């Protein structure tokens, strides 16, 4: 592996633009004063690994939106992206090639470059004294790695802090798990979930910027009567839906479905809770939707459930039966909160021991980047 890395430097000329639909999603300008308050000498030093990807760019957007304090940022990516210029908060940077030496002097590294990259460079960063917040599946089920949704189980990472002199690794859960548990956990705390049945309707954003661009391209091609380009998925995505493209395991569940099962048990610290899932890819650009059926140990009626969810942090209730208005992926896109609606008693169960809910959340935002930044906030 290569050693040695150029530091991000301020440049005299403007950044080069990335092409295609991805460029329209990079470093969205934020309204407000030109001088940013998040650049602080006493803040932590940051590194963003996979900065040119959809989630990497959303890391930067959330850092800016939340005024996350930092004294410096390293923009890290693959060799093919190294040397590109990009702007962030009125400063210009050179994207650096990711190496094992990239983390010297870095306090917090935000990773979103895939599991294989995380497995190699995550431990290297920790060995350098860096705290890694990893968005891949590489370490989620490692018993020594906290798997954290800050609104759900912040206590799992309480032993890791910036300034302690020790590196550490914290895993971001899968996007579908985060979106589901943001809504299910407040109800679980009140009545204890015995069994949860989840059906997901997952957007292109879950497969990255290239999948989002391909959905745009396919839509134009199909409307023009041309055969769709299928580079990311093996079949037509536009105007279609299909089982999630994750590999299918011997038990018939795909990896995405088993993530929801295993991660829920770990996050809730309840290996006995019964969870089953069916994950479907739908032609939505951004934000996942999930139908969740809950069976409780204790009775919980729908009105009490609505009140619990209205008071839950990071959750907004959209449940207007008379207007038939409930959450949609479109209205939660680029939003921080997870929306919950269709809150109703499960009539297949006796009494008030079951509820059905419908949940929507931005996969790139709360399902990935926002959750990671919220973890980073708790490290300070």
Cβ atoms of 107 and 162 closer than 8 Å: yes
User: Looking at 180, 188, 244, 288, which residue is catalytic?
Assistant: 288
Handedness of CA 245, 276, 198, 258 (dihedral sign): negative
3-state secondary structure of 75: strand
Catalytic-residue membership of 175? yes
Alpha carbons within 13 A on the beta-carbon side of 317: 20
Locate 81 and state its tokens.
């992206």
Cβ atoms of 259 and 180 closer than 8 Å: no
Residue 164's φ and ψ, nearest 5 degrees, are -80, -15
User: Looking at 130, 175, 180, 279, which residue is catalytic?
Assistant: 175
342-361 CB burial, b ≥16 within 10 A, e <16 = bbbbbeeeeebbbbbbbbbb
DSSP for 220-249, written as a single string? HHHHTTPPPP-SSSSS--TT--EE-SSPBP
Distances (CA, A) of 147 to 44, 109, 293: 22, 16, 23
Dist CA 217 CA 170 (whole Å): 36
Catalytic-residue membership of 188? no
Dist CA 187 CA 190 (whole Å): 5
Handedness of CA 281, 282, 287, 293 (dihedral sign): negative
What is the edge-to-edge ordering of all strands in the sheet holding 354-361? 242-243, 274-281, 193-202, 288-296, 354-361, 338-345, 315-317
Residues contacting 65, CB < 8 A, separation 6+: 30
Locate 372 and state its tokens.
């990671």
Cβ atoms of 21 and 82 closer than 8 Å: no
Residue numbers annotated as active site? 175, 288
């Amino acid at each position: 592996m290569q050693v040695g890395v150029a530091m991000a430097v301020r440049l005299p000329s403007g950044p080069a633009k990335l092409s295609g639909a991805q460029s329209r999603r990079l470093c969205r300008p934020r309204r407000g004063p030109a001088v940013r308050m998040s650049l602080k000498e006493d803040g932590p030093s940051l590194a963003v690994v996979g900065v040119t990807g959809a989630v990497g760019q959303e890391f930067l957007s959330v850092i800016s939106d939340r005024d996350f304090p930092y004294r410096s940022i390293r923009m890290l990516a693959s060799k093919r992206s190294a040397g590109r210029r990009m702007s962030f908060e009125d400063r210009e940077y050179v994207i650096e090639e990711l190496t094992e030496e990239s983390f010297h002097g870095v306090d917090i590294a935000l990773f979103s470059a895939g599991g294989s990259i995380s497995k190699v460079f995550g431990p290297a960063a920790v060995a350098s004294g860096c705290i890694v917040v990893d968005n891949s599946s590489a370490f989620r089920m490692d018993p020594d790695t906290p798997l954290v949704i800050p609104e759900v189980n912040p206590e799992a990472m309480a032993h890791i802090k910036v300034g302690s002199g020790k590196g550490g690794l914290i895993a971001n859960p899968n996007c579908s798990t985060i979106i589901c548990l943001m809504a299910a956990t407040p109800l679980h705390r009140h009545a204890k979930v015995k069994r949860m049945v989840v059906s997901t309707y997952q957007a292109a954003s879950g497969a990255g910027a290239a999948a989002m661009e391909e959905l745009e391209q396919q839509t134009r091609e199909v409307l023009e009567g041309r055969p769709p380009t299928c580079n990311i998925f093996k079949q037509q995505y536009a105007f279609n839906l299909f089982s999630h493209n994750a590999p299918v395991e011997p038990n018939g569940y795909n990896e995405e479905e088993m993530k929801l099962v295993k991660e829920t048990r770990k996050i809730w610290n309840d290996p006995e809770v019964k969870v089953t899932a069916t994950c479907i890819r739908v032609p939505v650009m951004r934000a996942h939707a999930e139908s969740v059926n809950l069976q409780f140990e204790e009775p919980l009626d729908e009105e009490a459930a609505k009140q619990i969810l209205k008071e839950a942090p990071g959750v907004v209730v959209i449940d207007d039966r008379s207007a038939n208005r409930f959450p949609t992926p479109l209205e939660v896109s680029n939003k921080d909160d997870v929306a919950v609606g269709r809150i109703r008693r499960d009539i297949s169960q006796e009494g008030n021991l079951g509820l059905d809910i419908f949940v929507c959340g931005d996969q790139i935002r709360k399902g990935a980047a926002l959750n990671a930044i919220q973890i980073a906030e708790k490290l300070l």
